């Protein structure tokens, strides 16, 4: 299985920081998304009330996750759908690959789904002999380029029009112009063929509705509707925690999702799908399969990190994070990034593997402020740092230095000696250790005389 986290946060971040084009693209896109959210939030007088209710609804699901999952599965099956609870990524991909094999599927059209990235669905399905085509425009571009998404809602923000034109030209075997109109028309042409020819459509799920057994899919391009309408078989993959009890609750979460992700009141297409095609329906898939993925999520249920399960994957926290805004998504890992990724990934894959991520934060709290369902993201990051130390994952040197620091500053004499020493040795700081890491991109602050001494 692909590692969900990157073991080389600093290394990748350094490359991205040095790339002026990436920095410009990142800055433009996250600023635009953030500004749109702020405008949409300030235009909604009930916003704080909605956030409070959103948090309450999602935590109600988390508090009785087993019960909600069981009732949701019953409701889906009562309407003719099939459900599968996958404990691991392998179980989930195995189910879909097997389904493709049994249906003799040659082509699978896939709309955007972070979960399918998490489980590496494409690789598993292609190994079973079914070709997979990504149909979200950004994901399609990345698939052609052989890369992975770098932002939850804007996957290809680092690609230029010229690069995209080259990728599209390769598909058509003739030159595609690099104007926005020509590129859009080419994508429409290329992907329309895919939708019409696909045997299986795979989508993600924004919310599952427990009472009605419905799945809600939000897209702006319409690919979510395409893959759930045209192929004979529709497979929806979702994290098992992405549920809301009722359609009334769905209304609250939908009002938060669009506004927080892109600043829209609603995404262009909000589809609520309840079961496969019924007698009397003129189109739609004959089979609906809903795959609910655990893959480490239920490990979060007990303890202080359970609030992370309320996340609705809007991406708002990414756009305000001073670390994400500079490093971009790739440094975090191939799937989740930004503050939500920095909290979620170490919890899913283990602290040892995700050890760099709790530090990818300035603890400024902007993420918590931007979260539509009030997850205290920066506090959870701080808690994770504490766990790193307590569980002995942090380096011995780091722990030793903090112990010495704590010891020195517990007496006035120790404090005076240590600050005096620091002032005398500050010229040496950029040469080694944390001082060197700091000084490689910034100027070290000069330590002046102590306030107390200056008054004398």
Partner 1 sequence: MSLVEEFAANAAAAGFTVHRGEPPRIEGAETSTALYGLAESGSVVLSSSQEPRGRSLLPDVHVTLLDEERILPGLAELFEALGDDLPTALSIVTGPSKSADIEQKLAVGVHGPREVHVVLRPPARSG
| Distance of alpha carbon 14 from alpha carbon 5, whole angstroms | 17
**Minimum gap (Å) between residue 342 Cβ and partner 1:** 24
Q: Which residues pair with 239 in a beta bridge?
A: 293
* Interacting residues with partner 1 between 254 and 283 (CB under 8 A): 254-255, 262, 264-278, 280-283
Residue 424 in tokens: 């005398």
88/220 with CB nearer partner 1: 220
Structure tokens at 193: 């063929």
In this chain, which of 250, 256, 331, 342 binds partner 1, going by CB under 8 A? 250
CB closer to partner 1 out of 169 and 274: 274
Interacting positions 180-199 with partner 1 (CB under 8 A): 180-181, 183-184, 187-188, 191-192, 195
Q: Pairing mode, if any, of strands 269-273 and 214-219?
A: antiparallel
Minimum distance from residue 337 beta carbon to partner 1 (Å): 17
- Site track 26-45 with partner 1 (rule: CB under 8 A), x = hit: --xx--x-------------
Query: Judged by CB under 8 A, which of 137, 291, 308, 394 binds partner 1?
Result: 137
Place of tokens 């009562």: 78
Pick between residue 32 and residue 359 the one whose CB is nearest to partner 1: 32
Neighbours of 237 (CB within 10 A): 27
What does the block give as tokens for 312?
Answer: 């609705």
Which of residues 118, 120, 134, 221 is near partner 1 by CB under 8 A?
Answer: 221
- Tell me if 205 contacts partner 1 by CB under 8 A: no
How far is it, in rounded angstroms, from Cα 173 to Cα 175?
A: 7
Q: Which two tokens stand for residue 398?
A: 């780091």
CA distances (Å), origin 379, targets 314, 324, 383, 390: 19, 17, 6, 16
CB closer to partner 1 out of 255 and 325: 255
Dihedral sign computed on CA atoms, order 374, 376, 381, 386: negative
Is residue 430 helix, strand or coil? helix
Output the CA–CA distances (angstroms, integers) from residue 455 to 172, 211, 449, in the order listed.
76, 69, 10
CB of 280 to partner 1, least distance (A): 7
From the list 87-95, 126-134, 240-248, 445-453, the region that binds partner 1 by CB under 8 A is 240-248
Which of 83, 116, 203, 228 touches partner 1 by CB under 8 A? 228
- From the list 12, 96, 124, 141, which residue makes contact with partner 1 (rule: CB under 8 A)? 141
Task: Tell me which residue of 265, 182, 191, 259 sits closest to 221, measured CA to CA.
Answer: 191
The residue ranges that bind partner 1 (CB under 8 A) are 25, 28-29, 32, 135-138, 141, 154-157, 159-161, 164, 180-181, 183-184, 187-188, 191-192, 195, 211-212, 214, 220-223, 225-226, 228-230, 246-248, 250-252, 254-255, 262, 264-278, 280-284
């Amino acid at each position: 299985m692909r590692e969900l986290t990157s073991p080389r946060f600093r290394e990748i971040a350094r490359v991205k920081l040095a790339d002026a084009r990436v920095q410009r693209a990142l800055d433009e896109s996250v600023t635009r998304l953030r500004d749109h959210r702020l405008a949409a939030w300030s235009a909604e007088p009930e916003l704080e009330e909605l956030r409070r209710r959103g948090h309450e609804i999602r935590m109600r699901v988390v508090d009785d996750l087993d019960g909600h999952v069981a009732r949701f599965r019953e409701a889906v099956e009562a309407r003719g759908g099939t459900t599968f609870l996958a404990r691991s990524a392998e179980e989930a991909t195995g189910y879909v690959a097997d389904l493709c094999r049994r249906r003799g599927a040659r082509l699978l059209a896939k709309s955007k789904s972070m979960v399918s990235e998490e489980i590496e669905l494409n690789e598993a399905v292609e190994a079973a002999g079914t070709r997979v085509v990504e149909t979200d425009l950004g994901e399609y571009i990345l698939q052609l380029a052989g890369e992975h998404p770098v932002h939850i809602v804007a996957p290809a923000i680092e690609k230029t029009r010229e690069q995209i034109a080259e990728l599209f030209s390769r598909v058509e075997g003739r030159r595609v112009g690099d104007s926005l109109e020509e590129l859009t028309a080419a994508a429409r042409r290329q992907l329309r063929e895919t939708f019409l020819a696909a045997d299986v459509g795979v989508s993600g799920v924004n919310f599952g509705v427990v009472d009605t057994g419905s799945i809600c899919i939000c897209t702006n391009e319409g690919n979510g509707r395409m893959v759930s309408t045209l192929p004979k078989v529709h497979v929806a993959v979702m994290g098992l925690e992405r549920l809301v009890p009722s359609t009334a609750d769905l209304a609250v979460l939908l009002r938060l999702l669009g506004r927080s992700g892109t600043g829209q009141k609603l995404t262009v297409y909000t589809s609520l799908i309840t079961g496969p095609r019924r007698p009397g329906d003129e189109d739609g898939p004959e089979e609906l399969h809903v795959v609910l993925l655990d893959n480490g999520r239920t490990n979060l249920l007990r303890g202080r990190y359970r609030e992370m399960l309320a996340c609705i994957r809007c991406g708002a926290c990414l756009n305000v994070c001073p670390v994400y805004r500079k490093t971009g998504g790739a440094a975090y890992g191939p799937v989740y990034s930004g503050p939500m990724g920095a909290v979620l990934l170490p919890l899913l894959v283990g602290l040892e593997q995700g050890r760099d991520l709790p530090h990818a934060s300035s603890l400024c709290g902007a993420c918590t402020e931007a979260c539509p369902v009030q997850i205290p993201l920066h506090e959870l990051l701080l808690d994770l740092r504490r766990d790193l130390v307590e569980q002995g994952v942090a380096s011995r040197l780091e722990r030793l230095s903090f112990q010495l620091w704590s010891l020195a500053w517990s007496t006035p004499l120790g404090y005076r000696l240590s600050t005096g020493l620091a002032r005398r040795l500050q010229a040496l700081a950029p040469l080694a250790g944390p001082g060197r890491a700091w000084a490689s991109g910034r100027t070290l602050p000069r330590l002046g005389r102590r306030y107390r001494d200056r008054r004398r």
